[in-house]
Amino acid sequence: MGKPAPPSPFAPASLPDVPLVPGVRFATAEAGIRYQGRTDLLLGVFAPGTEVAGVLTRSKTRSAPVDWCAIGLRDGKARALVVNSGNANAFTGKKGMETVVITADAAAAAVGCPPGEVFIASTGVIGEPLDAGKFAHLLGKLAGEAKADAWHAAARAVMTTDTFPKLATRTAKIGGVEVVINGFCKGAGMIQPDMATMLCFVFTDAPIAAPALQTLVADSADRTFNCVTIDGDTSTSDTLLVFATGEAEKRDCPRIAEPTDPRIADFAAALHSLLRELAILVAKDGEGITKFVTIEVEGAEDDRAARRIGLAIGNSPLVKTAIAGGDANWGRVVMAVGKAGEAADRDKLSIRFGDILVAHEGERAPTYREEEVALYMQRPEIVLRVDLGIGDGRATVWTCDLTHGYIDINADYRS
């Protein structure tokens, strides 16, 4: 690996203190999988009866751990989570699944559950075999050491090129009973998830059946992580898992079996809010970032079209480098809208940088002043607003600028 990247200018001053989630414990270790002197192995242990839902990468070259999780999600039961950083265990042939099976067997023995209730995620370099012998023997010890308050350590253990851990918490009420939702994620490059993010794990004590939870997770992921892009590249390892221990049922919280149950509304809103916060943290840690960019699209043919247009803008190297240089080159936004492949009418298009109208109805806005927009472009957080003027579709996309720092990180990632 090259030298560590400097911290993102948007890194929080401190990690949030999060409450305990009954039925969830963590332990971490330095297994030396790729990194030296830092934790790179995480074990999560869950109470019996924990249910799980999730969404996985749509990549056609997805990793062995993703294939394993896809099988486990069919049953929706979980007792353990094993995550390693430094090696993605992707494009590793039959050896990749052999490593997953060895890991699942070791974790199952440590926790006392069937291997199918162990979920596994790996992140890091693609194409290098992952030796389970480096860490599988540690899982028994970790199971005994797992603690309910190890949230900060857990969030750090899954990092690769991230410059800060990403952790968030919410509370919600179901039937008048308060439940907790905590989550952490990792991701800084190879980000246009097309499902979730590189790795994201959420935990709650709410008693929600896996099928109902699956509906909530898929819907929220579509409107949060699926609206983040750093570089337009979808990882082989993208995994979002939500674990519900059901421990709040012991406090008379009603069990939710259907996603249409009105008692779940507050929980659904809190889950969406948490995933949105984590998604934005990913964008704020984009590799080489100097500016955080929000792209708001409205007036599109439908919401799907609006998101595709937003991603076309957010993925444009020309748009991103202009933002990095503080160049108010709104013509590049016009270009990106036009190439998105969605319905657009040149003569109805309006573009704003922040609240400043720069283009209107097919030409430069009559009130446009270069000096005013150039001053706005010096801000650390930029908002680009696009109105297609042809429909009701809208979407928000989060991204960052493209700097030489991104090249520095990725040019010698394996060196």
Summarised one tens digit per residue, pLDDT across range 284-336 is: 988 889 999 999 999 999 999 999 999 999 999 999 999 999 999 999 999 99
Position 35 scores a pLDDT of 82
In this structure, are 265 and 371 located in the same domain? no
245 near 22, Cβ under 8 Å? yes
Answer yes or no: is 4 within a domain.
no
Q: Compute the average pLDDT of residues 25-54.
A: 95
| DSSP H or E stretch at residue 168 | strand 166-174
In this structure, are 166 and 298 located in the same domain? no
2 vs 235: which has the higher pLDDT? 235
In this structure, are 356 and 270 located in the same domain? no
In this structure, are 77 and 139 located in the same domain? yes
Answer yes or no: is 16 within a domain.
no
How many CB atoms neighbour CB 341 within 10 A? Answer: 10
Q: Is 134 annotated as a binding residue?
A: no
Position 6 scores a pLDDT of 80
Answer yes or no: is 90 within a domain.
yes
Residue that is last in its domain, among 255, 283, 311 = 283
Q: Per-residue confidence at 173, pLDDT binned at 50, 70, 90?
A: very high
Position 413 scores a pLDDT of 54
Q: What is the pTM of this model?
A: 0.93
Q: Out of 197, 229, 234, 236, pick the active-site residue.
A: 197
Q: Per-residue confidence at 410, pLDDT binned at 50, 70, 90?
A: confident
Q: Is 160 annotated as a binding residue?
A: yes
Mean pLDDT, rounded, of the chain: 93
Residue that is last in its domain, among 232, 261, 283 = 283
In this structure, are 263 and 331 located in the same domain? no
Q: Which domain holds residue 130?
A: 24-283
Distance in angstroms between the alpha carbons of the first and the last residue of the chain: 5
Answer yes or no: is 14 within a domain.
no
Position 407 scores a pLDDT of 82
What confidence tens digit (pLDDT) does each residue in 62-119 have? 999 999 999 999 999 999 999 999 999 999 999 999 999 999 999 999 999 999 999 9
Q: Compute the average pLDDT of residues 243-248.
A: 98
Q: Supply the DSSP symbol for 127.
A: S
Percentage of the chain lying above the pLDDT 90 cut: 83
Token digits of residue 5: 């990247």
* Residue count of the chain: 415
In this structure, are 178 and 109 located in the same domain? yes
Q: Indicate which CATH number applies to the domain containing 36.
A: 3.60.70.12
Asked if pLDDT for residue 221 goes beyond 90, the answer is yes
Answer yes or no: is 17 within a domain.
no
Q: How many domains does the chain have?
A: 2
Q: Per-residue confidence at 231, pLDDT binned at 50, 70, 90?
A: confident
**Residue type, position 39, single letter:** T
In this structure, are 216 and 253 located in the same domain? yes
Which of these, 103, 96, 78, 270, lies nearest to 172 by C-alpha position?
Answer: 270
Q: Is 182 annotated as a binding residue?
A: no
112's CB contacts (< 8 A; 6+ apart) are: 79
Answer yes or no: is 1 within a domain.
no
Position 193 scores a pLDDT of 57
Q: Indicate which CATH number applies to the domain containing 322.
A: 3.10.20.340
In this structure, are 307 and 273 located in the same domain? no
Q: Is 186 annotated as a binding residue?
A: yes
Helix spans in 134-239 (H): 139-145, 151-157, 210-223
What confidence tens digit (pLDDT) does each residue in 362-405 have? 899 999 999 999 999 999 999 999 999 999 999 999 999 998 88
Q: Cα(267)–Cα(106) distance, rounded to whole angstroms?
A: 34
Which of these, 45, 159, 167, 154, lies nearest to 107 by C-alpha position?
Answer: 45
Q: Is 291 annotated as a binding residue?
A: no
Asked if pLDDT for residue 415 goes beyond 60, the answer is no
Q: Cα(124)–Cα(87) distance, rounded to whole angstroms?
A: 4
Q: Cα(268)–Cα(179) distance, rounded to whole angstroms?
A: 12
For the four alpha carbons of 386, 390, 395 and 401, in that order, the dihedral sign comes to: negative
Helix spans in 209-302 (H): 210-223, 265-283
Q: Cα(308)–Cα(227) distance, rounded to whole angstroms?
A: 9
Answer yes or no: is 209 within a domain.
yes
Q: Per-residue confidence at 1, pLDDT binned at 50, 70, 90?
A: very low
Beta strands per DSSP E along 13-79: 24-29, 41-46, 51-56
Position 125 scores a pLDDT of 87
In this structure, are 268 and 347 located in the same domain? no
Residue that is last in its domain, among 251, 283, 315 = 283
How many CB atoms neighbour CB 324 within 10 A? Answer: 20
Which of these, 135, 102, 142, 100, lies nearest to 121 by C-alpha position?
Answer: 100
Asked if pLDDT for residue 414 goes beyond 70, the answer is no
**Residue type, position 345, single letter:** D
Asked if pLDDT for residue 195 goes beyond 90, the answer is no
Position 190 scores a pLDDT of 59
Cα dist. 289→308, 318, 326, 402 in Å?
22, 15, 13, 7
Q: Cα(354)–Cα(71) distance, rounded to whole angstroms?
A: 45
In this structure, are 261 and 299 located in the same domain? no
In this structure, are 399 and 332 located in the same domain? yes
Position 232 scores a pLDDT of 72
Radius of gyration of the chain (CA): 22
Q: Is 161 a catalytic residue?
A: no
Answer yes or no: is 13 within a domain.
no
In this structure, are 79 and 225 located in the same domain? yes
